[in-house]
Amino acid sequence: MPQQAWSNKRERQYDHIKEGLKKRGRSEDTAEEIAARTVNKERARAGESKTRSETSISDLSSARRGGLRSHSGAGGRTKDQLYAEAQRKNIHGRSKMSKAELERAVGRG
């Protein structure tokens, strides 16, 4: 585990995020980096770290941002997510489609 200063809760959070990223196809190194950054940001937001950036405390929390990017959140899927799905479904003309057109092409599900 990368940090000795992390509490047991933060260690569990790190492991959970890392494993989730690996299941979704991220490399070990990438998963470790993203998990560590996420945990450190949450520590800064909770006042558990000695230093913190303005962005860490004023930006959307990681959990909230993830919820907004979910398939049913306020903004729905991003254009990149829709494009990737269109690519998997081999939808022709996808590169010239707008976000709304991609949503219709791949279905709202």
Q: What is the DSSP string of 15-29?
A: HHHHHHHHHTT--HH
pLDDT at 72: 55
Do 102 and 83 meet the contact criterion of CB atoms below 8 Å apart?
Answer: yes
Span 21-46, mean pLDDT?
90
CA distance 35 to 18: 5
pLDDT tens figures, 69-78: 665 555 678 8
Percent of the chain with pLDDT over 90: 39
CA distance 27 to 97: 31
Q: What is the residue extent of each domain of the chain?
A: 1-68, 71-109
pTM: 0.52
